[in-house]
Amino acid sequence: MAPAYRRYDPDCDERSKQSDESTIEIFYFSAAISVLVAGVSLVVLEWSHVIYMSSMIVNLLHIDYSFTHLAEAMPERLAYDLFALRYVLIPLFLLAFVISLWSGSGHLKRWVLLIYGVCSIGMFSFAFIVTSYVMFPAQHYSAQFLSVEQFLNSNFAEDQLGTAASAADRVMVLEINGDARAYPITYITQTHIAGGEQIGGEDVVMTFCGLSHLSVPFANEVNGQELNLRVMGQFHNNLVLFDTHTNEPIHQIKAKFEHEGTALKKYPSVIMSVENFMKLYPGGKIYYRAPEDRDFIDKLVFALLEHAMGEQYDISTPELAFDTSPFNDKRLPAKERIYAIINQEEGIVFTKEFIAEKSEGYFEYDLNGQTIAIKYFAEYDYIDMFVGSDAQEVNHLGELPDGRKLSKFRHINQMLWRVYQYFYPESELFS
């Protein structure tokens, strides 16, 4: 039986060619969308980190140039608005990415698709996932606290060896109704957020920004709804958080929802050495991150932060490691740790030298008719503020020999002067 032959059909080849061209066009279009979404999101949301990492690389290469002045080129509001759209951008990226892989497979070389895939997923991940969930894993509801006795048997002494010397043994202290917690800077610099226990009957979460050296404890609810805070990034050397329940960004120092404007309740806190905390609050608890709870990425980020914070806090160098402020108020050194009272949009700044030496450890300030007592506890080397007068003999709990109990006054405690002045450039200064 003779074999059957099919007649050559040139129109079939033409249709196949047109189909291939259409498929390639679909790839280019969908790939362009995915790259555009991922790239724009990365640039806008991680602009400051990109600039800072570039500056660090340049410094490691001993090149005398800094990119940090470019950090101010990105409008803060643009980042907040883009972040609010992330639940639209994420599915859009994923849809475009899947379509591009489907249309590109069988028509493009594998290495082309591999490079495209790695770059797209990499940019997308850094924009929306890496900062909030990998590099800085918040412990809003999962922080571990140890008793003083347990802490003395922990690895803290070993962990603090690599920390910047000026912060190695420092802890942020939050005391409510006699119940106290300490948060070592060694641990909270990476997580930025620690909570999960009630303190003195109050549900509170501690936040800390290493770049500005600012601690702000927040009440764990707004308008009756619990918060769930994560790290979004930073602007002007100060931490930006977001609440996963409302999708609202929160600039730490401003302490409010950036879109709605709702203010968060803040609590007073101070900074002292861990040794002095254990003396003052032997029944208190201390935030701890066990070595077994830290994976390879945690350890890598921990090491990078130690290097960065070492430069940021090093008083032997006059400027900040990441100086983005357009203001240059030379009334104090850039890295001076200041204490401040915020009165609406204005600030009143005090230095440790002024309180401890020039005022002999005690100073009263009249704030709109309300007396604020500022005391330096020389024995324990820290400063706190209280609402009330004639409080020279007040103790760390706000108690006086005459039976009065003073409320602690919320203030900025040991923030870096250069970062602070960006937000309150016209502050009154006592130094």
Is 298 in the same domain as 153? yes
63 against 357, higher pLDDT? 357
pLDDT tens track for 157-172: 666 544 444 455 799 9
Same structural domain, 308 and 396:
no
Give the model's pLDDT for residue 18.
Answer: 60
As a whole-number percent, the residues of the chain with pLDDT over 70 amount to 89
CA distance 12 to 18: 10
* Tens-digit pLDDT profile for residues 82-133: 999 989 999 999 999 999 999 888 778 889 899 999 999 999 998 899 999 9
Strand partners, 251: 240
- pLDDT at 15 exceeding the cut of 80: no
Q: Are residues 298 and 270 in the same domain?
A: yes
Task: Say whether both 88 and 174 belong to one domain.
Answer: no
In a domain, 365, yes or no: yes
Domain termination residue (choose one: 135, 169, 203)? 135
CA 330, chain centre distance (Å) = 26
**What is the reported pLDDT for 67?**
67
DSSP string, 2-54: PPP-PPP-HHHHHHHHHHHHHHHHHHHHHHHHHHHHHHHHHHHHSHHHHHHHH
196 and 308, same structural domain?
Answer: yes
366 domain residue, yes or no: yes
- Over 60: is that where the pLDDT of 16 sits? no
The residue segments making up the domain with residue 113 are 11-135
Residues 6+ apart with CB under 8 A from 85: none
- Overall number of domains in the chain: 3
Hey, which of 8-22, 141-155, 244-258 has the most confident mean pLDDT?
244-258
Q: Tell me the pTM.
A: 0.88
pLDDT confidence tier of residue 212, bands split at 50, 70 and 90: very high
For the CA atoms of 281, 285, 286, 291, the dihedral, rounded to the nearest 10 degrees, stands at 150
